Structure 1
Amino acid sequence: MDIGTISKPHERLAELLAGEMDAVNTLIRTRMASEHAPRIPEVTAHLVEAGGKRLRPMLTLAAARLFGYGGDHHIRLAATVEFIHTATLLHDDVVDESAQRRGRPTANLLWDNKSSVLVGDYLFSRSFQLMVETGSLRVLDILANASATIAEGEVLQMTAATDLRTDESVYLQVVRGKTAALFSAATEVGGVIAGASEEQVRALFAYGDALGIAFQIADDLLDYQGDSKATGKNVGDDFRERKLTLPVIKAVAQATPEERAFWERTIEKGRQQDGDLELALGLMRKYRTLDATRAGALGWAAKAKAALAVLPDHEIRDLLRDMADYVVARLN
Structure 2
Amino acid sequence: MRKKIEVLPKLLSAWTVLVLVFLFIPISLVFLHSFNYGGSFTIWSGRASTKWWGELFNGGVMYGVLIRFAVVVVAGVVFARITKRRENFSKRVSSLILPLTFVFAIVLNGLMTEWYRTIFDFAGIGDSIRNSFIAAFGATVIAVLIGGMSGVALARRPGGWTKFFMATVFLILVTPEIMDAIALATWFPRIKAIPVIGIIFSSGWGPFNGGINKLWVGQSLYSSAVVTLIVRARLSGLDEALEEAAADLGAPPGRAFRQITLPLIASAMVAGALLSFALCLDNAVISTLISEAGSTTFPVALLGATRSTIKPFWGVGAVLLFIVTLGALWFLAVILRRGGDSASKIAATFTGS
- TM class by smaller structure: 0.3 to 0.5
Q: Which structure: larger Rg?
A: 2
- Structure showing greater relative contact order (alpha-carbon pairs closer than 8 Å, 6 or more residues apart): 2
**Please, what TM-score do these two structures have when normalized by structure 2?**
0.31
